[in-house]
Chain A
Amino acid sequence: MRLQYIAMRLVQLIPMVLVVTMVVFFVMMIVPGDPVMVMLGAVDGAQVSREVYDAMRMRLGLDQPLIVQYLHWLANLLQGDLGTSITHRTAALEVILQRLVPTMYLMVGGLIMAVIIAVPAGVLAAIHNNTKWDHLATAFVVAGISVPTFWLALVAVLIFAVYLGWLPAIGYTRPQDDFVDFLKHIALPMSVVALNIAATVLRFQRQDFLEQMQQDYVRTARAKGLSERLVQWKHVLRNSLITTFTVVGLQMAYLSGLITIVESVFNYPGIGYLLLNSIRTRDFIVVQGVVLFMVFLVIVVNLIVDILYTVLDPRIRYS
C-alpha cells in the first residue's frame, strides 16, 4: 500500500519536472544578447571572426531546433550537468555545492529554532485561547507576515551590531575553523530566518491545536479520567505535530526566497548570495543552476514530507 503510494507519487513527479525544466529553459531564452557572444566573452561589441562564432554556435548546439536543444539540455541536466560557469570557469554544479554547506546551516538551524519557538508558543496560545497570551501570539504572527525580512534583518544589524556591538554585522566563519566565531556570525541571520518561519508555524500550530481539542478522542481521553494537562501535552500535541511537520516541510519554497534575502543582507556566502552575485556578474549559467537546484530541493523535500506523512499518520488513506 505504502510502496504503491510512493511509486504513484514518483510517477506524478515526471510531468512536474518536465514543466519546471521547460519554464527554466524558456526563461533563459529571454536573456538579452547573443548567447554565443556571451560565451565567447565578447559582450561589449568586441569583434569575433565568423569561423570562431560558427564553431561556438555548433558547440553550444544552437544550430539545432529548439526542441532538440531542450532535450539535449534536459539529458545533461539529468546527469547532473548544469553547464559551465562563465565567471568561475568550472562546472556550475560544483560552484553551487561549494556554497551549499553554509546555506544548509542557515536553513536547518533556522527551521529548528523556528520550531522550538513556535510549537510551545502555539500550544500555549491555543490552551489560553482569547487571553492576553493568545493576543500576543497573534500579534507576533501578524508582525511576522507584515514586516519585510530584509528590513527586519537591517534593524537587527542596527541594534545588535551597530548599537550594542555584540555580534558582527556581516560575514561568515567556518565552524571547523573557529566554532565560537561561527556561532557569532550565524546568530543574526539564523534568528531572522527563524522568526519569519516561526510566525507561520505558530499560526498553524495554534489553529490545529484548537481543532484537535474538538475531536472525539479528546472527549474519550477526558472521560477515562486523564488530567487535562496529559490530554493536551500528550494526545493533542502529538496529533497536531503532524500538521506542524507538514507546514514546516511546505515552507521549503518560501524558505529559498527567504535565505536569498537574508544571505544578501548579511553577506553570508551561501547559494542565495551566489545567486545574487551571479546576477550581478551576468553569469546566467549559474543563475539557471541555482534556480533549478532550489526547485529540485523544494520538490524533493515535498516528496519526503508526503511520504513521511503516511508513516506518521497511518489513518490516512489514499485514493
Chain B
Amino acid sequence: MKAQTADESASFERPAARSSTVLRSVIAFVGSDRRFIVGGLLLILYILIALTGPGISPHDLNAPDLDVRLGAPTATHWLGTDRIGRDVLTRIIAGSQVSLEVAAGAVLMALMIGAPLGALGSYVGGKIDALVQRVMEGIMAFPSLVLALALVALAGPSVAMLWFAIAFSSIPRYARLVRSGVLTQKEREYVLAAQAMGQTPMRILVRQILPNIMAPIAVQLTLDLARAISVEAALSYLGLGLSVPYISWGTMIRDAQDFLEVAPWLAIFPGLALAGFILAFTLVGDALRDRMDPRMRRSLSRRMV
C-alpha cells in the first residue's frame, strides 16, 4: 500500500516549470518518442482541417451533382460522391468539425463537473468525501455507451445533451484524479506555507495545487478525447446523434450501409477519417502518460484491481 502512494505522489511531483524550460523539454520529448511525432502531426492536421472547414473544398457541402450519384473516387471527387452526388471529401471535412466540437465540449464538461467534486471531497473530507466517492462509484458501474445512448434517446439529441451524455461517465475519472492529487499535495510544504500566509482554501486549490496536478489531468483529457470521438460516432451511427444540418462521420457511415455493395467507399472513407482522429489522440495520450511517469502503466493495472 505504501508503494502505491509513493507511485502516485511521483506523478504529481513536477512543479510548474518556466516557459523556456517547458519549450526545451517539449522539443526533447517530441524527438524522443515516435508515437508523439506521428500522433502529434496527425492531430495538427486534423485540427487545421476542422478549423478551416469545408470552405477549402471546391465543392459545395450540400449541392448535389446528380450526374455522378454514388460515383467512385475520381480526379474531381477524390473520395467519390454519395447517393445524391454530394462530394464525400467535403462532407468528411465538415464532419471533423462536429467530431471535434462534440468531443472537446464533452471532455471539458466532464472536467468541469468532476474536478470540483474531487477537490471538494478531498478538501472537506469526512461524510461529504464519502458521499461523493459512493456517487462516483455508482456512476462508474454504468456502461458508458449504453448510458449515453439512453440519455440521448430520452432527451433528444442536441449539442449540449451530447456533451452531457458523453461526459457523464467520465466525471468519476476527473473526480478521482483531482481527489488523489489534492490529497497528496495537501500536506506539502508549499501548501502549508500558503496556508500560513493566510490564503483562502479556494485560492490555494486553484493557484497552488491545480498547476501541480495538471499533468495527469492533461493525459486523461487527451485519452478521453479519443473516447469521446468514438462515442459520438457510435451514437450517430446508431441514429441517435445530431441530425441535419450537422454532418457526423457516424451518420455518414450509417447512410452508407445501404450502398455497401455498389459504393463501399461511402462507408470506408469516413471510417478511416474517424480511426485516424482517434489514433492521433490515443498515440499522443499514451506517449504523454508513459513520459510523465513510466510506472504509471503498472499502477494503472493495479488501480483497476
Chain A positions near chain B (C-beta within 8 angstroms): 15-20, 22-23, 27-28, 30-32, 142, 145-151, 154-155, 157-158, 162, 204, 207-208, 211, 243, 246-247, 250, 253-258, 260-261, 264, 275-276, 279-280, 284, 287-288, 290-291, 294-295, 298-299, 302, 309, 319
Contacts and interface: CB of A to CB of B under 8 A. Distances in A.
Given A207-B298, A246-B304, A257-B146, A150 B138 contact: no
Interface residues of B, number: 50
25 contacts: A16-B137, A16-B138, A17-B138, A18-B138, A28-B154, A146-B278, A147-B278, A149-B234, A154-B267, A155-B267, A162-B264, A204-B301, A207-B298, A207-B301, A247-B304, A254-B144, A257-B144, A258-B145, A261-B238, A276-B238, A287-B154, A290-B146, A294-B143, A295-B143, A309-B305
Interface string B264-283: 10011001001110110011
Interface stretch (B72-80, B109-117, B253-261): B253-261
Contact of B279 (A146, A155, A264): A146
B151 interface: yes
A15 B143 CA distance: 18
B141 interface: yes
Contact of A23 (B138, B154, B297): B138
B153 interface: yes
Given A207-B297, A291-B142, 15 more contacts: A19-B137, A19-B139, A27-B150, A145-B282, A148-B230, A150-B237, A150-B253, A154-B257, A254-B144, A261-B234, A275-B146, A276-B149, A295-B143, A298-B142, A309-B305
Contact of A15 (B134, B250, B257, B274): B134
Contacts of A279: 149-150, 153, 240
Interface string B132-169: 00110111111111110111011110000000000000
Contacts of B142: 20, 23, 253, 291, 295, 298
Given A19-B135, A158-B264, A291 B147 contact: yes
- Which of B146, B276, B279, B304 has the largest count of A CB atoms less than 10 A from its CB? B146
A22 B268 CA distance: 41
Contacts of B205: none
B275 A151 contact: yes
B1 interface: yes
Contacts of B297: 207
Contacts of A287: 150, 153-154
Contacts of B250: 150
B158 to A, nearest CB: 12
B279 A157 contact: no
A299 B261 contact: no
Given A18-B138, A284-B154, A154 B260 contact: yes
